[in-house]
Amino acid sequence: MLSFQEMAPLFTNHVDRDYNGAKSAPWEGGQYGFVRDPKSTGGGVIYTRFHEGIDIRSVHRDANGEPQDEVRAIADGEVVHVSPVAGYSNYGKYIVIEHRWGGSSYYSLYAHLSSIAVQPGETVRRGQPIAVMGYTGTGINRERAHLHLELCLMFSRQFEAWCIHIF
């Protein structure tokens, strides 16, 4: 059985990064946490920009190189937000689903989609196809097509107003 470190390059998005002559592992920029925008300090290299989710690369493409991967809901829930216009945020086209767990809500966000198959208010089941992976959003091209997946807690019910201000 392969370890996570051995499996990560198989499904996480490729980022070819070279900082001061040192190449990073090709999948590091798509993982969760402070993994972007390296800076040199007296204590070594630190990463200064937080990546809120994980990037899962496309593994199925058509003859033209377009991603064909279905995106599926990670758990039962209700679609609470759909952004169908790629230019509205850095996430491109994206979906937010509210899930209930132990009496609390949490949210899954699926971004950089090429097409969306659900609407706000729709109930979805775990494993249900909800979209097709794409490369919408700032700085994403066909070669870097991937799903950006986040799990979130919401501290404000004014998601639309909050979302507009952070992107």
In tens digits, the chain (167 residues) has pLDDT values of 766 567 666 655 555 556 566 665 544 545 555 455 677 778 777 666 656 778 888 889 999 999 999 999 999 999 999 999 998 888 899 999 999 988 788 999 999 999 999 999 999 999 999 999 999 888 788 888 889 888 887 666 666 665 655 44
CATH 2.70.70.10 boundaries in the chain: 70-166
pLDDT given for residue 35 in this prediction: 58
Q: Would you tell me how many other CB atoms lie within 10 Å of the CB of residue 93?
A: 24
CATH code of domain 70-166: 2.70.70.10
Give first-to-last CA distance, the chain, whole Å: 40
pLDDT for residue 26: 46
